[in-house]
Chain A
Amino acid sequence: MNCGQARNIFGAYWDDELTQAEREWLESHFTSCASCRRDYDQLTQTLEAVTHLPRVEVSAGFADRVLVQARRRSPVMDRLPVAGRRWIPITATAALLAVLGGMVMQWSGMPLAPRRPAAPVALQQPVLVEPRPATPLEAARARSQTPDASLMAGGQEVTDSLFDHSEDVEFILDPVTLRKGRAHTVVRLQPEPARGQQAVITF
């Protein structure tokens, strides 16, 4: 063995892990090689300095502080065991099957839902509502300028609002018919063409 081989086993010699033969050889080498002896002395001094470093002591109450932290960090689930979330895989499987089923049906040309004839759509004409004038004078002016609201409503029945809106009432007096001393006036409550029932006023 040479110095290089001797230096390779310095660590094992320090750890007392050499065989008896190796140890005896190294010790005999030290007696003849001052350089290896010095190298090993430097190593032992270094390691002694390391191993003799003062131990770090913890401050008082360390264990109690650890316990407080441990309690805080210990999950509540740990103390109260609950059943696992089994609904998650079941729901996921059901969703997957539904998606796959839809894809297969689409691929095979099957309709996803039975087709029904389209139901007739009731079309309703929009009802235009004329803005209410503020005064009877304005109402009269508006009537003279714009067509009748009932005409604009497309012949639909207009809600009777005669008694609520006096300014909207229009009396059209037909020629007075005299019948044996009595005067009969025919009043059309609703103008042409939406003819309503006639009322007869007897004077």
Chain B
Amino acid sequence: MGRVAEGDERAFTELVRRFQGRVTNLISRVLNDREASEDLAQEVFVRVFVHRRNYRRGSKFSTWLFTIAANLAKNEIRRRMRRRNWFSLDALQEMLGDSTSHLADPTEGKEKSLMRQQLQEAVGKAIASVPEKYRLALVLRDIEGFAYEEIGEMLSIPGGTVRSRINRARGILKRKLTPLMRREGMT
């Protein structure tokens, strides 16, 4: 990052290649929007380059990078919420309903890959339906694997708050996904 701060474009490209997957994945899981996630991830890296002089040497680069990513994802969620009820519970119910009826239909078959795909879509929608402040903490922890302290730094909240938010998010997810898993014979 030191080289990037001095304007080294090759170093910047290396940095992008190293983190592009994680940043895109984080945004994709938070927004549940594959197409938009790449554009937003691009914006994250552009901001890193434009504001590279603001990076404090000695601090962890990934924390700074994911702070920017989390903030942009948060802004995007709020922008969409203003426009329409993007992550409505009705949509989730609809998705879960479709998934189960589809699986229950003997004419469609019960291929495992299809089941897995349906389940993944349902999980993605369930994550997207968790309230924003819990969702970011959950994705940073359970999908990106950051430590609580790092998440606290990224979201500018104390470690205890991070823990409680993640527990709340996990509880919400469990309540939403357990019925689906039960129907599919996973529990």
Asked if A116 is an interface residue, CB under 8 A from chain B, the answer is: no
Interchain CB contact under 8 A, B170 and A74: no
Asked if B167 is an interface residue, CB under 8 A from chain A, the answer is: yes
Q: Of A49-57, A94-102, A193-201, which binds chain B?
A: A49-57
Asked if B21 is an interface residue, CB under 8 A from chain A, the answer is: yes
Q: How far is the CB of B82 from chain A (nearest CB, A)?
A: 25
In the assembled complex, which residues on chain A have CB atoms less than 8 Å from the CB atom of B37?
56
Q: Please give the number of chain B residues whose Cβ is less than 8 angstroms from any Cβ of chain A in the complex.
A: 41
Q: Which of A55, A56, A74, A75 has the most CB atoms of chain B within a 10 A radius of its CB?
A: A56
Asked if B76 is an interface residue, CB under 8 A from chain A, the answer is: no
In the assembled complex, which residues on chain A have CB atoms less than 8 Å from the CB atom of B25?
55-56
Interchain CB contact under 8 A, B187 and A53: no
Q: Considering the chains assembled together, what is the distance between the CA atoms of A70 and B50 in angstroms? A: 7
In the assembled complex, which residues on chain B have CB atoms less than 8 Å from the CB atom of A70?
12, 45-46, 49-50
Q: Is the interface of B mostly helix, strand, loop or mixed?
A: helix
Interchain CB contact under 8 A, A45 and B46: no
List B residues 84-98 near A (Cβ within 8 Å).
Answer: none
Partner of B24, one of A43, A49, A58: A58
Known: A45-B181, A63-B13. A50 touches B21 (CB 8 A): no
Q: How far is the CB of A58 from chain B (nearest CB, A)?
A: 5
Q: Considering the chains assembled together, what is the distance between the CA atoms of A62 and B23 in angstroms? A: 12
Asked if A180 is an interface residue, CB under 8 A from chain B, the answer is: no
In the assembled complex, which residues on chain A have CB atoms less than 8 Å from the CB atom of B1?
none
Asked if A79 is an interface residue, CB under 8 A from chain B, the answer is: yes
Q: How far is the CB of B69 from chain A (nearest CB, A)?
A: 13
In the assembled complex, which residues on chain A have CB atoms less than 8 Å from the CB atom of B120?
49, 53-54
Question: Can you report 6 residue pairs joining A to B where beta carbons are below 8 Å apart?
Answer: A42-B187, A45-B181, A46-B177, A46-B181, A62-B42, A65-B42
Interface positions of B (Cβ within 8 A of A): 7, 9, 12-13, 16-17, 20-21, 24-25, 28-29, 34, 37-38, 41-42, 45-46, 49-50, 53, 119-120, 123-124, 127, 138, 142-143, 163, 166-167, 170, 173-174, 177-178, 181, 186-187
